[in-house]
Amino acid sequence: MKIALLGYGRMGKTIEKIALQRGHKIIFKVDENTKEYDIKTADVAIDFSIPSAAFNNISNCLNNDVPVISGTTGWLDKYPAVTKLCNKKDGGFIYASNFSLGVNIFFELNEQLAKMMHQLEEYNISMEEIHHTKKLDAPSGTAITLANGIIKHTNKKSWNLNVTNSDSQIPIIAKRIDDVPGTHTVAYNSEVDSIEIKHTAHNRSGFALGAVIAAEWLYGKTGVFTMKDVLGLK
Ligand SMILES: NC(=O)C1=CN([C@@H]2O[C@H](COP(=O)(O)OP(=O)(O)OC[C@H]3O[C@@H](n4cnc5c(N)ncnc54)[C@H](OP(=O)(O)O)[C@@H]3O)[C@@H](O)[C@H]2O)C=CC1
Ligand SMILES: O=C(O)C1=N[C@H](C(=O)O)C[C@H](O)C1
């Protein structure tokens, strides 16, 4: 496939390596300084840019009939508008807060655990995410997906960043340390014990491989999809 990379930072560069290994061509790379490009020449676009740029990047692809994958976090207030545009244009779109296979299994595990824990009032839930110091958004998109997975199965109504426990909210502690690629922990603590599930990314290759697999899967399809569709977890 001819792939356009919208965003050529840490993730864009890792995706390039994996896409080339899998026999794809990178036809152009867009960063903050790219003035003009013709998105129509791409078979598929992969957006790993910045929160303020993602919506325009995605809309430009959909308006030009180019299927698009986005892993950029921190722009989801505009997700309903993207869904509407994608359906109107009969385009193809996938967003995932985390494209790695391991995290998508972790998402399933998190929901199963939440279902098991929600009757046990003696346990307090909390979450922690740790990322590198260059990260622009907090909490991470992955932490928000995990929180939504818990909200679906419990009486928690929302999440709260860096605030201690409350009955209706899930506290998420966000830490920024050196070059940590991404570590997420969901913990249930009682007076007598703790249960924790944790995913630790050792590098960015898992995110990048998942994004390229998602792009391969999306090519030739129309609709708004998630990694559950790509991985057959539905
Ligand atoms: N879903 C997932 O699996 C994962 C998601 N992410 C998310 O992906 C995003 C990118 O992460 P990362 O690569 O680490 O970030 P980087 O800061 O390393 O890269 C961001 C890139 O976006 C570029 N950029 C800035 N403005 C625009 C624009 N208008 N159009 C296109 N590109 C632009 C930057 O250009 P310049 O260098 O010129 O400023 C840079 O190349 C983040 O939102 C992060 O949270 C990260 C890992 C996994
Ligand atoms: O910014 C990052 O680096 C990452 N962002 C994603 C997120 O916000 O969840 C995915 C991963 O944790 C790395």
Per residue in 112-143, pLDDT (tens digit) is: 999 999 999 999 999 999 999 999 999 999 99
Give CATH 3.40.50.720 domain extents, the chain: 2-99+205-231
How remote is the CA of residue 122 from the centroid of ligand 2, in Å? 31
pLDDT value, residue 115: 97
How remote is the CA of residue 75 from the centroid of ligand 1, in Å? 12
- Whole-angstrom distance, CA of residue 136 vs CA of residue 119: 36
Is the pLDDT at 189 greater than 70? The verdict is yes
Task: Please tell me which residue in 131, 156, 184, 199 is annotated as part of the active site.
Answer: 131
Q: Could you tell me which residues are annotated as the binding site for (S)-2,3,4,5-tetrahydrodipicolinate?
A: 132, 141-142
Contact 128, 197 (CB under 8 A): no
pLDDT value, residue 234: 80
**Pocket perturbation via mutation, ligand 2, pick of 49, 110, 128, 131 by most ligand atoms within 8 A of CB:** 131
Q: Is 198 a catalytic residue?
A: no
Q: What is the 3-state secondary structure (H, E, C) of 79-116?
A: HHHHHHHHHHHCCEEEECCCCCHHHHHHHHHHHHHHHH
Mean confidence (pLDDT) of the chain: 97
CATH number listed for the domain at residues 2-99+205-231: 3.40.50.720
Q: Is 131 a catalytic residue?
A: yes
Ligand nearest 75 Cα, by number?
Answer: 1
Tell me the mean pLDDT in the region 187-196: 98
Decide: helix, strand or coil at residue 24.
Answer: coil
**Which amino acid type is present at position 110?**
N
Give CATH 3.30.360.10 domain extents, the chain: 101-201
Pocket (CB within 6 angstroms of ligand 1): 6-12, 30-33, 48-50, 53, 57, 71-74, 96-99, 207
Predicted-assembly ipTM surpassing the 0.95 threshold: yes
The fold for domain 101-201 equals Dihydrodipicolinate Reductase; domain 2 (3.30.360)
- Whole-angstrom distance, CA of residue 141 vs CA of residue 207: 13
How remote is the CA of residue 115 from the centroid of ligand 2, in Å? 25
How remote is the CA of residue 192 from the centroid of ligand 2, in Å? 33
**Tally of CA atoms within 13 A in the half-sphere of 191 that contains its CB:** 2
- Whole-angstrom distance, CA of residue 11 vs CA of residue 82: 22
Is the pLDDT at 186 greater than 90? The verdict is yes
Please state the pTM of the whole predicted model: 0.97
Residue 145 in contact with ligand 2 by CB distance below 6 A:
no
